[in-house]
Amino acid sequence: MQKFSAWSLLKQAFGGHRGWQPQWRRAAPQSSYDAIIVGGGGHGLGAAYYLASEHGMNRVAVLEKGWIGGGNTGRNTTVIRSNYLFDESARLYDHAVKMWRDLSQHLNYNVMYSPRGVLMLAHSVHDMQVSKRHIHANRCNGVDNEWLSPAECKAFCPPLNIGHDIRYPVLGGALQRRGGTARHDAVAWGYARAADALGVDIVENCEVTGICRDANGAVEAVETTRGRIGSRKIGVAAAGNSSVVMGLAGIRLPLESFPLQALVSEPIKPVLPCVVMSNAIHAYVSQSDKGELVIGAGTDAYTSYTQRGALHVNLHTLAAICELFPAFRRLRMLRNWGGIVDVSPDRSPIICKTAVPGLYLNCGWGTGGFKATPGSAHLFAWTIAHDEPHPLNAPFTLERFRDGLLIDEAAAAAVAH
């Protein structure tokens, strides 16, 4: 049944999350559901949407301790790409990149996906060798990636400094043309609106504080700040807090939580046509549709749950960006922020069922889970609905850390950690 008046749809499209309160903000949770998703980020909201739309599960709730999209989904720098080294990762991330293409049409909500190209710079012989290895591996997996000389990098991205007199001269770059950006909070809102329309309950200000199990050890409910809510299927997508939430069920995760930060400049007219990343100097930059330069740094060197990063990390990043793009020296910073990312030992995610019957896990995306949002949500829903992994996420188990079947994507993570 259609739940929105034309007026409420207009407000939803143009009002964003600041003024108008959507229907789900007034909803009280029911006493039980067919499935509960813990975490109202893109991965959790998307999983709820696919549970309802593809698996016929309409009695689904998303429980969010704050507001939807207020975690990493609304804090990230929106880089989308699938140029990962190993076959398993290329398949996983390219599944997502393919879904980005028509996500706006699918959700009837403009997520502003813009495949403007992601250029990853090389500054040393080692960088060049690693880049070319990635390019060859990607192509074997049907993932586009190509090598550009310094002059070709400059032609593709005119503000780039390819002079030889800088500390880290540009020796070339790997370009994934299908890579790009999207509007991060629109992704949360697009999935939320589509899930809500299918009957999913989205409950904000509802922190999960306990995971209850029956006499056989299977999940039967969660304790929350808004009371006990029953379900025989619980999916956890609580990035940054995964270890804390899974600890409620007695499961220890091999993750470390680090602050990762970013900043934007004052808005300017379009100057930067693509995303530029440099693994070696721990910096990357793109320009948002609002005109701000979106600049990201590496993780802090220590674990923490504070949603802000250390000042010196930003200063290092800005020095590197100004060397690569001298014209940007004249800009002023508008704002900065941080999020907490869960980093796994091999820098690859975990999407799996767990040893606790009915408990499913989606975590470990570290610095790079935004790009995976549609694919991850789609596969997580499949895993929950079928009580077994989809072939694309089957390698991304928790057990791989015990069995040594690692998928080591440290070099593809592109952000220092």
Site residues (vs ligand FAD, CB under 6 A): 38-44, 63-66, 70-73, 75-79, 207-208, 237-241, 245, 260-262, 296, 339, 341, 365, 367-371
Decide which of ligand PYC, ligand FAD, none touches 347; Cβ closer than 5 to 8 Å per partner kind: none
**Phi, psi angle pair for 161, to nearest 5°:** -85, 115
Decide which of ligand PYC, ligand FAD, none touches 414; Cβ closer than 5 to 8 Å per partner kind: ligand PYC
Give me the least distance between CB of 272 and ligand FAD, in Å please.
15
Give start and end residues of each alpha helix (H) in 109-210.
125-140, 150-156, 184-197
Q: How distant is the alpha carbon of residue 341 from its chain centre? A: 10
Q: Which stretch binds ligand PYC (CB under 6 A): 77-85, 96-104, 164-172, 386-394?
A: 77-85
Number of Cβ within a 10 Å radius of residue 302: 9
The C-alpha atoms of residue 150 and residue 125 are separated, in whole angstroms, by 14
Give me the least distance between CB of 36 and ligand FAD, in Å please.
10
Closest CA to 224 of 236, 213, 233, 211: 211
Examine residue 77 and tell whether it contacts ligand PYC (CB under 6 A): yes
Q: Which residue, 157 or 414, has its beta carbon nearer to ligand PYC?
A: 414
The kind and range of the H/E element at 363 are strand 359-363
Give me the least distance between CB of 5 and ligand FAD, in Å please.
28
The C-alpha atoms of residue 236 and residue 209 are separated, in whole angstroms, by 13
Q: Which residue, 75 or 347, has its beta carbon nearer to ligand FAD?
A: 75
Examine residue 415 and tell whether it contacts ligand PYC (CB under 6 A): yes
One-letter identity of residue 47: A
**Phi, psi angle pair for 118, to nearest 5°:** -115, 120
Decide which of ligand FAD, ligand PYC, none touches 73; Cβ closer than 5 to 8 Å per partner kind: ligand FAD
Residue 139 near residue 85, CB atoms below 8 Å: no
Q: Which stretch binds ligand PYC (CB under 6 A): 74-82, 153-161, 180-188, 196-204?
A: 74-82
**Phi, psi angle pair for 60, to nearest 5°:** -125, 140
Give me the least distance between CB of 315 and ligand FAD, in Å please.
16
Give me the least distance between CB of 331 and ligand PYC, in Å please.
19
Helices 42-55 & 184-197 angle (0-180, nearest 10):
30
* Binding flags for ligand PYC, 262-301, as an x/- string (CB under 6 A): ----------------------x-----------x-----
Q: Which residue, 22 or 366, has its beta carbon nearer to ligand PYC?
A: 366
Decide which of ligand PYC, ligand FAD, none touches 365; Cβ closer than 5 to 8 Å per partner kind: ligand FAD
Classified as helix, coil or strand, 247 is helix
**Phi, psi angle pair for 200, to nearest 5°:** -70, 135
Give me the least distance between CB of 228 and ligand PYC, in Å please.
37
Sign of CA dihedral 25, 342, 308, 293: negative
The C-alpha atoms of residue 116 and residue 244 are separated, in whole angstroms, by 37
Applying the rule CB under 6 A, the residues between 326 and 385 that interact with ligand PYC are 367-368
Radius of gyration (C-alpha) of the chain in whole angstroms: 21
Decide which of ligand FAD, ligand PYC, none touches 349; Cβ closer than 5 to 8 Å per partner kind: none
Residue 390 near residue 382, CB atoms below 8 Å: yes
Give me the least distance between CB of 179 and ligand PYC, in Å please.
8
The C-alpha atoms of residue 114 and residue 342 are separated, in whole angstroms, by 27
Number of residues lying near ligand PYC (CB under 6 A): 9
Residue nearest to ligand PYC (CB): 368
Q: Which residue, 197 or 297, has its beta carbon nearer to ligand FAD?
A: 297
Which residues here bind ligand PYC, judged by CB under 6 A?
77, 79, 81, 284, 296, 367-368, 414-415
